[in-house]
Chain A
Amino acid sequence: MSEREFVIPVGPQHPALKEPESFLFTVDGEVVVDVEARIGYNHRGIEKAMESRNYIQNLYITERVCGICSNAHQTAYTGSVEEAGGIEIPERAKYIRVFVQELERLHSHLLWVGVAAHEIGFDTMFYLVWRDRELVMDLLEEISGNRVNYAMPTVGGVRRDLNKDNFMRYHKILDTVAERTNYYIKVASTEKTILERAVGVGYLGKEDMIRLSGCGPNARSSGVPCDIRKLSPYLIYDEIPFEHIYVDNGDVLGQVLVRVLETLEAVKICKWVLDNIPEGEIAVKFNPMQRLPEGEAAYLVEAQRGELIHYTISDGKNMPYRHKIRAPTMANIPSLIERLKGGYIADIPITLAGIDPCFSCTDRMVFYDEGKDKTWSWTEGELSKYRKEWYSK
């Protein structure tokens, strides 16, 4: 570090971060020279907790991995369990899962637009976007019985049915959301102060993005087509006509574009589902005490923030032997750090918000020896040895 440089800590507590995570910025004047990220402030031991609960109880734990992508986590979890157990779910259940998932994508992307506006100091847009997001939240509340943790998918189907009488109203609400989204696209593309803060900020090219293996809207804003819904379709996504959105701007504007265009696509998907949903059962029976055959399965879902992987191993009991969650923010952190370097201090919040970080899904435990500057993690055998020692004390 030269004489002119000093370190600014952003986090663990900072208004730009909605969840605790620490970034140490080495800055020269107003320019960021180097970034060091430290994760691990939010470790909750969810994967471990899942090993001592049965498959039905785990539904509600996976849902609480993240508040915003609760349904994505549940979809991935139920998908992996059904694949491991060889359970075939009814057609109508697939449609309802997609419907809720796309509604969740709608509200999540609108939330992000609001947060991004707030990060660049445009509070008016933040308030108005969130006001319009409320339409989607109310719709989800009506469908599922809760505003955030919908608890819609269950192993073997979904828990609540859609009522056909309300479809006209849902169509109208979705139309309003699309109209408002178009208005915000117009505002974002004509308001000069927004463009000044978004164009060229936090740039990362396509090659770098592939090298750093980002995912989700973060990667798609750099021109990497990586939508799991197109690349390896799950549920009924191979039947639904929708665009694979990716732009090659590579900056914050690209991230805004990807998200607002995906919002419009999500509206289209929701309307398609309402038009094409078949009649029938919504779930096959799954007993909470039911044992799953031995086996393993991984399930990929395109969550709002990117590729979400749930991997489950069953050893023949009624609870998973091991359940591994790979949340998208984890994959996006290397590219985030690259985006932050060379920017201004003023651009830190918007660049951080740009990947739509969800640190509570991300955090893993890693040991770090400060004296030796060495990091390591434990294998499963070491963990269980530690557990035995701890409980025998």
Chain B
Amino acid sequence: MAMERELLKNAFSKPCTVIYPFEKLEPPEGLRGKHEYDPEKCIGCGLCARICPSFSITLKGGPGPKCTGLLVDLGKCLFCGQCEEICPRDAIWLTTEYELAVINKEDGILDFERTPPPPKTTPKKVE
């Protein structure tokens, strides 16, 4: 009988759970969720693909100037954020978006496009 008072208090207060698909909690700042990519900043170094502990990132087209973008397989991703940490140009980062369920496995692969920069004639112009 030790909990009777607590129970009655609960009965007349709002349930602590939220009705999820209709009511959503705000994710805290810094939550590690879906990836975002900035093709302008990316230099195609491929460090993210090499550090990824679950090998979920693949470089399209090959490293360096040949790189035409990234494929991020969310099904394999651990959301550790190591790719964000290692990227020298902050070109890939994690957002707070957490609703990532998909029907097909293929839909869970993020396809980031990037136009490779035109071949430079003089290496001095590279920033």
Contact = CB atoms under 8 A, between A and B. Distances in A.
A58 B78 CA distance: 12
Candidate in B1, B51, B53 with the most chain A CB atoms within 10 angstroms = B53
Q: How large is the interface on A (under 10, 10 to 19, 20 to 34, 35 or more residues)?
A: 20 to 34
B80 A288 contact: no
A173 to B, nearest CB: 13
Interface string A21-60: 0000000000000000000000000000000010011111
Interface string A122-141: 00110010010010001001
B51 A57 contact: yes
B111 interface: no
Contact of B2 (A53, A142, A186): A186
B30 interface: yes
Nearest to B85: A159
A288 B16 CA distance: 43
B53 A58 contact: yes
B3 to A, nearest CB: 6
Contacts, number: 61
Contacts of B7: 124
Given A60-B80, A151-B81, A190-B2, A142 B86 contact: no
A145 B81 contact: yes
A311 to B, nearest CB: 21
A60 B82 CA distance: 9
A64 B81 contact: no
B60 interface: no
A47 B31 CA distance: 29
- Which of the four size classes fits the interface of chain B? 20 to 34
A56 B85 CA distance: 11
B6 interface: yes
A236 interface: no
Contact of A56 (B30, B51, B78): B51
Nearest to B7: A124
B6 A128 contact: yes
Nearest to B51: A288
A70 to B, nearest CB: 11
Contacts of B80: 59-60, 63, 149, 151
A191 interface: yes
Contacts of B82: 56-57, 60
A63 B51 CA distance: 16
Contacts of A57: 51-53, 82
Contacts of A145: 28, 30-32, 81, 94
A64 B2 contact: no
A290 to B, nearest CB: 13
B53 A61 contact: yes
A384 interface: no
A59 to B, nearest CB: 8
A190 B4 CA distance: 12
B53 A187 contact: no
A288 B86 contact: yes
B2 A187 contact: yes
Contacts of A186: 2
A146 interface: yes
Contacts of B2: 186-187, 190-191
Interface in B29-53: 29-32, 51-53
A324 interface: no
Contacts of A141: 28, 31
A60 B32 contact: no
A124 B80 CA distance: 35
B79 interface: yes
Interface of A: 53, 56-61, 63-64, 124-125, 128, 131, 134, 138, 141-142, 145-146, 149, 151, 159-160, 183, 186-187, 190-191, 288
Given A141-B28, A142-B28, A288-B51, 10 more contacts: A56-B82, A57-B82, A59-B80, A138-B28, A145-B31, A149-B78, A159-B81, A186-B2, A187-B3, A190-B2
Interface of B: 1-3, 6-7, 10, 16, 28-32, 51-54, 78-82, 85-86, 94
16 contacts: A57-B53, A61-B53, A64-B78, A124-B7, A128-B6, A134-B16, A141-B28, A145-B81, A145-B94, A146-B31, A149-B78, A149-B79, A151-B32, A151-B80, A183-B6, A190-B2
